[in-house]
Chains A and B, each alone.
Chain A
Amino acid sequence: MQELMSGNEAIARGAWEAGVTFASGYPGTPSTEILENAVQYKADMYCEWAPNEKVAFEAAAGAALAGARSFCTMKHVGLNVAADPLMTLAYVGTAGGFVAVVADDPGMHSSQNEQDTRQYARFAKIPVLEPADAGEAREFMKKAFGISERHRTPVILRSTTRVSHARSLVALAEREEHPPTGFVKDPPRFVPIPAWGRKMRVKVEARLHELRTAAELSDLNRVEMAGNELGIIACGIAYQYVKEVFPEAAVLKLGWSYPFPDATIRDFASKVKRLLVVEELDDFVEEHVRSLGIPCDGRDLVPGIGELSPERLRIVRARMEGRDTEAATMVAEAVDLPGRPPVLCPGCPHRGVFTALGRFDVVVAGDIGCYSLGVMPPLNRMDTILCMGGGVSVAHGIAKSGEKKKVVGMVGDSTFFHSGITGLLDVAVNRSDVVICVVDNRTTAMTGHQDHPGTGRTLMGDDTVAVSIEEMARCCGINRVRTVYPYDIEATVGAFKEELEAPGPSVIVSRAPCPLARKMTLGKPLKVVAEKCRKCGACLRIGCPAIEAADRRPSINTNACVGCGICPQMCKFDAIRLDQEEEERALT
């Protein structure tokens, strides 16, 4: 049986078919839908959102040490958070199969950098598999568990945006049962105190040698021989582009790219006159091919910045053939089109916080989430973004540096639980004079509304404890903690004013649920009364996509407006009101 599935759906399916009984992860584009799909198999497979990737990795590692087949999911930057357990689980090894599914984002569609996860596999001396579409994603996931158990090693399955979010046909199979074997006490195996860790260190090298042999024999790496003029080594989605653009070339497709199958590479290189390596992001394979003394092309022709595409490979091909290269350009009618960047939705509660903060001359350290969009005009109210949790600790550092301006740190609710708490301990214990604003919209919004420790609900759909951000802040040692309703601009401004003036650190929790997540409106759509409008532009400075304007004359798109009531608070001329009919209805 075949189904049309996204790569992420297929990874979830592959895990279920492989007999997995434990799954954990933290949302992050492009990996999020893996666990969202995995939970449909919850009768066989326990699934959870963890507070962050490190916790997800450790929890899945624990399940594997107890003999369960387990996996964890995250985006590429999430593996940085989980790098600590990764590097040592590579020593300890596993009992049940363990796979870390990591989705890279070449081109940074929804990320702050485009690091290449394959480097972590080499760093940790463990295998990495690279599926090229959804069908392979399912198949490779199952094979990854076999490799993990046979060699007692964690395995990384590396996806990318165009594997995770592209859909293609997937062959389905029944589930194999692998009930957890139970935890078997064996401290020299599971405890890397130096005496035992040194022994593990030796084993890691021996295992890498075994894995290299296994990769040579694996059908995950295959040669598609054609002519011998040009041979191409390709990994992941790049393979698909190669098949489109170089249909006549011989191809060595590396589905198991590390440890490198040296003999396979040497053999393939010996059969072709010219060798080209096509891979996304780092020249991971190419560098190794060169280290084997094999001449090849790669980064000299194929871009390593941004994602690849058939279009970019056409240019590579033209260059190889000495033809002129021309990138497709927009049609003449499209060159001066207005941009349409992502924006905070109509009715977004974050808009109230940014509008209020716009009244203060402060430095705002921001963080990762929908509220990152507050950096853009017309809001312009965020000054730094570093990483998850950085909104708190970066604010602390700026304040401690002797900065003259007051400093506000901004962090989302899910991000606060992810890694804002440890930063807040630093703020409290080392007494920096910052205001930390937790913009709590009761969901992990940017990635598509996942639950987190504050929502009171699990991924499996059960009710659970909802952890209080205010109580957590007090436990961290913050004495000044208050809550605001961000649609009330004056009250929000007042709260910031008081807390910025008060000595010592404060936490302001801005609390209102994401209307998009709840599919709710906050009121009736509003209307601009043309006779009263002076075209001052104040309502346009809140960047609401429901307020459209031509020549500064605003009008409200009633299909988009959710009646949040922020724009009337901006208008000095009382020109934004309920629709007249609505007003009459409200009076009667």
Chain B
Amino acid sequence: MSETSSVILAGVGGQGILLASNILSRAALLAGHDVKTNEVHGMAQRGGSVVAEIRYGEKVHSPLIEPFAACALGSLEQIEALRYAHVLAPGALAVVSRMRLVPTTVSSGAAKYPDDIGERLARAFPNLRHIDAAAAAEKAGNPRANNLVVLGALSMGLDFPEALWEKAIAECVKAKFVDMNVVAFSLGRRLAS
């Protein structure tokens, strides 16, 4: 029986984690895998830390990923990547957007956003792609397409052909947004190659 692959996506509620999770699970499905995902709804969504877990393989039981078991991590925000770093297998691919979203705990003075975030990411993730996803999203025509850029970069470490990803995107977003999302996705691929 083939191993189950696990991917974790992290970010802040409202950043589009659910769409990225939808596209990734659709791609796995198109590739002929059994798929399970776990997503966060409800209270935690309101600007809180949010995570989606996607698992695929011949037969998947648990929708939850065990520590150090994910084969890839994509994060739409920098400190959120660190928060879930213990889920990633040692040395596995981490794609982290350079996005810095300051939590209210920092603004209120109760906590501090790490000054050395770049060094921390490099230490925690030996296989890191620290990318300017926001600039790429802007270039694709939508500053909110940060999620597709990160997914594109992440796709370089996942074993699905590019055409299959494009099919998955087309099945998950409204027709008029397909082109923009495909552009953002391919810019992400370029950033990681």
Contacts and interface: CB of A to CB of B under 8 A. Distances in A.
B82 A337 contact: yes
Nearest to B39: A165
B45 to A, nearest CB: 7
A553 to B, nearest CB: 10
A559 B109 CA distance: 22
B190 interface: no
B139 interface: no
Contacts of B193: none
A334 B85 contact: yes
Contacts of B114: 336-337
A314 B62 CA distance: 13
Interface in B40-62: 40-49, 60-62
A162 interface: yes
A540 B109 contact: yes
A30 B39 CA distance: 11
Contacts of B104: 341, 343, 378, 543-545
B25 to A, nearest CB: 6
A323 interface: no
B47 A345 contact: yes
Contacts of B124: 331-334
B166 interface: no
A32 B42 CA distance: 9
Contacts of B101: 557
B66 A329 contact: no
Nearest to B21: A167
Given A241-B62, A337-B114, A342-B13, A331 B86 contact: yes
A554 interface: yes
Contacts of A342: 13, 43-48
A33 B113 CA distance: 35
A385 interface: no
Interface string B22-44: 00011001000011111111111
Interface in A538-587: 540-541, 543-545, 547-550, 552, 554, 557, 559
A280 interface: no
Contact of A162 (B49, B63, B107): B63
Interface residues of A, number: 61
A240 interface: yes
B120 A333 contact: yes
A133 B62 CA distance: 9
Given A168-B63, A244-B61, A338 B36 contact: no
Interface residues on B, range: 35 or more
Given A4-B25, A330-B85, A331-B82, A341 B48 contact: yes
Contacts of A241: 61-62, 64
Given A167-B35, A243-B61, A345-B47, A334 B83 contact: yes
Contacts of A328: 67-68, 86
Nearest to A344: B46
A370 B48 CA distance: 13
A29 B42 contact: yes
Interface in B101-115: 101-114
B12 interface: yes
A503 interface: no
A385 B105 CA distance: 22
Main secondary structure of the interface of A (DSSP, over half): loop
Contacts of A329: 86
A168 B44 contact: no
A110 B107 contact: no
Contacts of B102: 548-550, 557
Contact of A446 (B43, B106, B111, B113): B43
B123 A333 contact: yes
B108 A543 contact: yes
Interface string B78-109: 01101101100000000000000111111111
Interface string A89-108: 00000000000000000000
B35 A370 contact: no
B161 interface: no
Given A377-B108, A554-B107, A559-B143, A109 B25 contact: no
B118 to A, nearest CB: 11
Nearest to B112: A338
Contact of B105 (A166, A341, A541, A554): A341
Interface string A212-251: 0000000000000000000000000000110110000000
A59 to B, nearest CB: 24
Q: Among the interface residues B26, B68, B120, which one has the most CB atoms of the partner chain A within 10 A?
A: B120
B120 to A, nearest CB: 4
Contact of B41 (A165, A309, A341, A378): A165
Contact of A169 (B35, B46, B83, B123): B35
A447 interface: yes
Contacts of A240: 61-63
A309 B105 CA distance: 29
A515 interface: no
Interface in A120-150: 133
B108 A540 contact: yes
A336 B111 CA distance: 9
A338 B41 contact: no
Contacts of B107: 540, 545, 547-549, 554
A341 B42 CA distance: 13
Contacts of A109: 40, 42-44
A397 interface: no
Contacts of B120: 333
A552 B64 CA distance: 39
Given A168-B63, A334-B82, A29 B46 contact: no
A340 interface: yes
Given A133-B36, A168-B36, A448 B103 contact: no
A537 B29 CA distance: 50
A311 interface: yes
Interface of A: 4, 6, 29-30, 32-33, 109-110, 133, 162, 165-169, 240-241, 243-244, 309-311, 314, 328-334, 336-345, 370, 373, 377-378, 446-448, 537, 540-541, 543-545, 547-550, 552, 554, 557, 559
18 contacts: A4-B29, A32-B42, A109-B42, A133-B36, A165-B38, A166-B37, A167-B63, A243-B62, A334-B124, A337-B114, A339-B111, A340-B80, A342-B47, A345-B46, A545-B47, A547-B107, A557-B101, A557-B102
Given A133-B63, A340-B105, 8 more contacts: A32-B41, A133-B36, A162-B38, A337-B79, A340-B49, A340-B79, A342-B44, A541-B108
